[in-house]
């Protein structure tokens, strides 16, 4: 039920999101390219969805619905690994679903697929993690930024894991990034782009990360899973000083989106880790926190007006 609601909520939106019209442009351009040209595009997965929808004479709603289905599948798969799946989804709604998945379509899909990779990695499968990240990179090339986590989270045969994950990372770099490095550098660094509220968003990852590091012994999980979220938390905290010294807060802000899963993991498990006899108090606290995030974004974000009112394309 949650899967259907989230997929349709994302997919059938109409003129919702700050980049709405740019995505219509993507559809129009993709409609006139050949199938072979898709393979050489920077984000072939997303271009394929646009190409397919364009060839069938469908509108941008079809592309958005495809993105919504993929994202929702990844989110639900991740949520089902948590002791309180519904609470994980509640935490995801205010920012990951509404802002990211509905505003940054390509990166939203990439994060949804990356969530599947994190599920695989938490079960000890580094190979499947890398495959999922490779697929995520076909929608947004920045997804390869989380590949190094696999080298740190592996608990068995660390040397071999490091060698082949590093090799996989290099392959992904040459496939997805090598031809776009100059463009990305010019766009995010030489342009000195600034993201309003970047510190708040990075802090939203850092707070649950600190909670996990301080109380990690109380969070249940296998050795691989515990190590995964420990290094995920370290990365989330490190992004605060990185943001302070970076010439482009936009670049840091966009990469930090891949660390949002630490919010879902920690907050959905917080009642069981710290609540014990008063778990319901922590559940209410997490729900109220999520509601506060939604309220603050709706009323104080510079771009929230692009999401209001929500309308459906039927």
Average pLDDT over residues 153-173: 57
Confidence label for 36 from pLDDT (cuts 50, 70 and 90): confident
Q: What proportion of the chain, given as a percentage, has pLDDT over 70?
A: 84
Contact, 15 vs 60, CB < 8 A?
no
- Kindly report the pTM of this predicted structure: 0.89
pLDDT number for residue 236: 94
Average pLDDT over residues 43-51: 92
Q: How far apart are the first and last CA of the chain?
A: 20
Confidence label for 157 from pLDDT (cuts 50, 70 and 90): low
pLDDT number for residue 21: 87
pLDDT number for residue 115: 97
Contact, 286 vs 271, CB < 8 A?
yes
Task: Name every residue whose Cβ is closer than 8 Å to that of residue 305 and which is 6 or more positions away in sequence.
Answer: none
Contact, 31 vs 55, CB < 8 A?
yes
Q: Is the pLDDT of residue 190 over 50?
A: no
> Does residue 195 or residue 306 have the better pLDDT?
306
Structure tokens at 172: 């992904």
Task: Name every residue whose Cβ is closer than 8 Å to that of residue 218 and which is 6 or more positions away in sequence.
Answer: 273, 274
36-40, 77-81, 158-162: range with highest mean pLDDT: 77-81
Confidence label for 51 from pLDDT (cuts 50, 70 and 90): very high
pLDDT number for residue 178: 47
């Amino acid at each position: 039920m949650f899967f259907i609601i989230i997929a349709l909520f994302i997919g059938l939106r109409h003129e919702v999101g700050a980049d709405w019209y740019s995505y219509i442009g993507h559809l129009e351009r993709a409609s006139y390219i050949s199938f072979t040209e898709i393979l050489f595009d920077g984000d072939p997965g997303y271009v394929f969805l646009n190409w397919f929808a364009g060839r069938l004479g469908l509108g941008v709603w079809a592309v958005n619905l495809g993105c919504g289905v993929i994202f929702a599948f990844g989110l639900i798969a991740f949520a089902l690994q948590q002791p309180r799946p519904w609470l994980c989804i509640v935490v995801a709604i205010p920012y990951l679903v509404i802002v990211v998945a509905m505003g940054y379509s390509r990166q939203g899909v990439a994060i949804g697929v990356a969530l599947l990779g994190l599920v695989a990695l938490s079960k000890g499968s580094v190979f499947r993690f890398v495959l999922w990240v490779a697929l995520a990179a076909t929608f947004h090339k920045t997804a390869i930024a989380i590949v190094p986590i696999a080298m740190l989270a592996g608990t068995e045969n660390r040397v071999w894991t490091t060698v082949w994950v590093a090799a996989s990372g290099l392959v992904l770099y040459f496939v997805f990034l090598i031809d776009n490095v100059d463009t990305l550098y010019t766009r995010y660094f030489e342009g000195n782009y600034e993201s309003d509220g970047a510190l708040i968003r990075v802090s939203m990852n850092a707070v649950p990360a600190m909670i996990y590091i301080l109380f990690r012994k109380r969070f249940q999980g296998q050795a691989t899973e515990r190590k995964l979220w420990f290094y995920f938390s370290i990365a989330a905290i490190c992004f605060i000083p990185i943001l302070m010294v970076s010439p482009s807060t936009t670049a840091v802000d966009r990469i930090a989106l891949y660390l949002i899963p630490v919010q879902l993991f920690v907050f959905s498990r917080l009642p069981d880790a710290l609540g014990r006899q008063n778990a319901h108090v922590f559940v209410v606290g997490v729900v109220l926190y999520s509601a506060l995030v939604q309220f603050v974004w709706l009323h104080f974000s510079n771009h929230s007006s692009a999401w209001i009112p929500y309308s459906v394309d039927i």
